[in-house]
Structure 1
Amino acid sequence: MSTDPDPPRIGPDNLRRTAVVGLLALLLLAAPVAGLLAWEPVDEGNVKVVKKWGATTGTVFEPGAHFVNPVSQSTSSLSVRPQSYTMSAQQNEGQQSGDDAIRVLTEDGLRTDIDVTVRYRVDAGKAVNFYRKYRTLDTAEERLIRPSIRSVLRTEAGRLPVTEIYTGEGQTKLKLAAEQELADEFSNDGLILEAVQIRNVELPAEYAKAVEQKEITEQRRQQKQSELEVEKLEADRKEIEAQGEAEANRIVSESLTDEVLAQQYIQRLDETDTVYIPVGGDGYPQFVRNLESDSEAGSSGSTTTGQSSGNSSTDSTQS
């Protein structure tokens, strides 16, 4: 005969106590997990669109701490920081690799490439509207921004001649037209347009060469004009200088007689040890001969005059 004691019997009260203890333990374990699932922080520069069973509720969480029902609710984050979308001919400069410039036709039918950057951001107050249409920024860039900027620039460029489109005034017209058109489209889709930047206008090769040649020709013309002006001034200066020299020579020529030259020559004899005396064919100093010739001519003139007077007296006496 066995003497072991009978096992304890589990009554209804014991079962209830066990169930309560198990439930409390489960709640204690699940509470942190549920709290983590319900905790929904939003970082600065972002918003979160609240969804219930996958559909937007119209609620948007601003930066800060929020809670959701982890069973039925979820969120999608959107950046509201400024964004930029670039289309450029430069390799890896824009969102797409390779040549992604906008090709347009000007008013006179010439093809021109335009590099452009669109700066925008999501409107936090219309984040739900934006999310319903595009879900992500990449989708909005492909479906809205890219086709819109291409369309408006092609339309506006078609109103401008190629001689204007590459100037500052022409690029300003492109910028203003694009900003006006895109601002209206963006506002309807939950975006805010901040700016359109026309970064570069690439002219057709043949036209760019013609413009460059024209600029070179103009520079050469201006240089030649400057040279001609300098030459004219120099000619005027030389003419005035020549006139002055001629006048001076005339005055000197009128003042220099044989006597003056002889006197200056004699004065120079005292200033040097070596004397060069020009002589005539008979070895007689030429300047002395000239002086004597002048003196003889003067004396002869006086004698002739005297004789004429004498003859007149004689004739008178005889009469």
Structure 2
Amino acid sequence: MNFRTPLLLALTAALAACTQIDTGNVGVERTLGKVSPEALPPGVYFSLFKTVDEFSAKEVSFQLNDMTPKSRDNLTMKDVDIDIYFKVNPAAVPGLYTKYQGDVVRHKDVVREGGTKDKVIAYSRVSREAREAVYKSIAQLDATTMHTKRSELAELVRSGLQSELDANDKGAFVITAVNVRNLLTDPAIEAAIRQRAETDQAIEKKRKEIELAKAEAERLIVEAEGQAKANQIVSASLTPALKEIKLAELQRDAAIAIASKQGNTVLLGGGAQPLINVGK
């Protein structure tokens, strides 16, 4: 009994001197205040004579709420809420820890719900640059049409934020996604948006009416040209011989009409003009 007690105490102390790095996280080792440049992968480490801090290398998110940036047409947005998703390059964590040692938070402390206990390095820097990227991106779009360009706005924020982070810490951060959660304009702007939509609809209606009228006019022109061409074909088909036959038929019909009256005589000779004897 007395032999087992010291053994259990020693085992307990050894376990207490170990640090576990969970999957998806990395460790940063410090010995006498000196930070190791190599990130520790997931596993269990003996840390009796050193300190091992665990940081998240998974995708984490945070929200930017209640922003009121100005648009390109110099109108102030009423409320803009955006979600930012990013990851830290595991190999860059020790260097970031040295550079931003005072900028460490727990994920659950910066999100409203769904946060974890994992530590996030350089959160203040990322969130500050993200807010600046949102304001710059909003300034590139008009408030009256911004609600139709959420995807474009999200990409502007993502690319702008990525560029700013790469400027000082190349490859350390990856902005994986941006979600435009809320995009509200001033009520006066909303009225202008509705008015613009109605105007656009009226313009589109008029444009369609003009296109229909143009199509009908083109149809009538084609029809008239077709009829004129048909008349030309008929006229061209009347050869001199056919014209003489038509003339003879007309003369015959006229002679018959005259001869049908009592006392009239009509003589038709080959190629001669009709001789008509009208009885008195």
1:111 aligns with 2:70: no
1:78 aligns with 2:55: yes
Shift of residue 67, structure 1, vs aligned partner? 0.8
Matching residue of 1:317: none
**Is the contact made by 1:183 and 1:193 (CA closer than 8 Å) also made in structure 2?**
no
Matching residue of 1:222: 207
Matching residue of 1:269: none
Matching residue of 1:133: 103
The one-letter code sitting in structure 1 at the alignment partner of 2:21 is V
Shift of residue 202, structure 1, vs aligned partner? 6.1
Partners in 1 of 2:254 and 2:101 — Cα distance?
113
1:236 aligns with 2:221: yes
1:257 aligns with 2:256: no
Secondary structure of the structure 2 residue equivalent to 1:107 = coil
Q: Normalising by the residue count of structure 2, what TM-score does the alignment of the two structures yield?
A: 0.60
Partners in 2 of 1:208 and 1:26 — Cα distance?
78
Structure with the higher fraction of residues in helix conformation:
1
How many positions carry a matched residue from both structures?
240
Shift of residue 64, structure 1, vs aligned partner? 1.9
The one-letter code sitting in structure 1 at the alignment partner of 2:194 is K
Partners in 2 of 1:136 and 1:101 — Cα distance?
22
The one-letter code sitting in structure 2 at the alignment partner of 1:197 is V
Partners in 2 of 1:61 and 1:176 — Cα distance?
30
Matching residue of 1:179: 162
Q: Normalising by the residue count of structure 1, what TM-score does the alignment of the two structures yield?
A: 0.55
- Residue 29 and residue 116 in structure 1: after superposition, are their counterparts in 2 closer, same or farther (change >3 A)? closer
1:296 aligns with 2:260: no
Identity between Structure 1 and Structure 2 (%): 13
Matching residue of 1:42: 21
- Residue 198 and residue 101 in structure 1: after superposition, are their counterparts in 2 closer, same or farther (change >3 A)? farther
Matching residue of 2:115: none
- Residue 294 and residue 169 in structure 1: after superposition, are their counterparts in 2 closer, same or farther (change >3 A)? farther
Shift of residue 295, structure 1, vs aligned partner? 9.5
Shift of residue 68, structure 1, vs aligned partner? 1.8
Matching residue of 1:194: 175
Alpha-carbon deviations, 1:165-193, whole Å to 9, x = none?
665777655543333224446x39x9613
The one-letter code sitting in structure 1 at the alignment partner of 2:17 is A
Secondary structure of the structure 1 residue equivalent to 2:69 = strand
Structure exhibiting the larger radius of gyration computed from Cα positions: 1
Secondary structure of the structure 2 residue equivalent to 1:110 = coil
- Bigger relative contact order (CA 8 A; separation at least 6): 2
The one-letter code sitting in structure 2 at the alignment partner of 1:110 is L
Structure with the higher fraction of residues in strand conformation:
2
**Is the contact made by 1:118 and 1:196 (CA closer than 8 Å) also made in structure 2?**
yes
Q: 2:194 aligns with which of 183, 196, 209?
A: 209
Partners in 2 of 1:260 and 1:74 — Cα distance?
127
Alpha-carbon deviations, 1:267-290, whole Å to 9, x = none?
xxxxxxxxxxxxxxxxxxxxx755
Matching residue of 2:133: 152
What 5-or-longer segments of structure 2 have no aligned partner? 111-119, 268-273
Partners in 1 of 2:81 and 2:254 — Cα distance?
86
**Is the contact made by 1:156 and 1:174 (CA closer than 8 Å) also made in structure 2?**
yes
Shift of residue 232, structure 1, vs aligned partner? 0.9
Shift of residue 80, structure 1, vs aligned partner? 0.8
**Is the contact made by 2:87 and 2:176 (CA closer than 8 Å) also made in structure 1?**
no
- Residue 246 and residue 126 in structure 1: after superposition, are their counterparts in 2 closer, same or farther (change >3 A)? closer
**Is the contact made by 2:25 and 2:54 (CA closer than 8 Å) also made in structure 1?**
yes
- Residue 142 and residue 122 in structure 1: after superposition, are their counterparts in 2 closer, same or farther (change >3 A)? closer
